[in-house]
Amino acid sequence: MKKYMLMLVLSCVIILSGCTFGSTIEEDLSKVLSEMHEAEKTYRDGQKDLTEIEQTEQNLFNKTMELSQEEHEQLKDNIADMKELLEKRTIHIEEETKSMENAKKLVSDIEKIEKEAEGDTKAEVVKLKNAINDRYQTHTIFVNQYEELTKLQGELYEMLLVEDIDLTKLEKQVEELNAQNDEVTTAIKEFNEATNSLNEIKDETFDYFKKNNSK
């Protein structure tokens, strides 16, 4: 069987953490950010396992592509294992999504703080809130792209089970899959950039509060 290369995603993330400054508005914001950080714990804790599953699946895929047509039984066994790993990744993404959605619900608490703030202080809170929303939006995009990737991977595994498969169709599927992998890689990059931006804005916001002793 001709060898095809498939790159899986290593989901690298940056952690959002809370701050501890000042009083009232500062304390309220710090409390909400800390709660968000805690709500994302399942998401953070799952990243290492997800990466290991991806690497195991990738290695098995590469070995499978080295098999000859006469090794069909081994091919079936390998694909069964890959489908099981794919299912595990799907579960990880579902759990990650729930974790992030729970954290996102806390944005409503920041909106309450926003209503209490005035002037420049209000503007700082709004800027922080918008950065948080942008980050969660980029994560939603990542999840959508990743789910499409796993769908294409599942289709490829089914195609590999077909004896005398048209290699042109198989190659086209791999090309589509690798193109989708690029979309996922881009989505991860944008999410990490949004997280970096949020952390910078968070620091700027609390620096502002500290300097102005905002209440």
Is domain 25-212 in CATH 1.20.120.570, yes or no?
Answer: yes
Tell me: pLDDT of 22 over 60: no
What is the rounded CA–CA span in Å between residue 86 and residue 94? 12
Q: Is the pLDDT of residue 15 over 90?
A: no
Spans of all domains in the chain: 25-212
CA dist 105 and 101 (Å) reads 6
pLDDT at residue 112 tops 90: yes
Burial class (CB in 10 A: 0-12, 13-18, 19+), 5: exposed
- What is the arithmetic mean of pLDDT over 191-215? 86
Lowest mean pLDDT among 69-73, 83-87, 91-95, 140-144: 69-73
pTM for this entry = 0.88
- Split at pLDDT 50, 70, 90, the class of 3 is very low
Cα gap 33→203, rounded to integer Å: 12
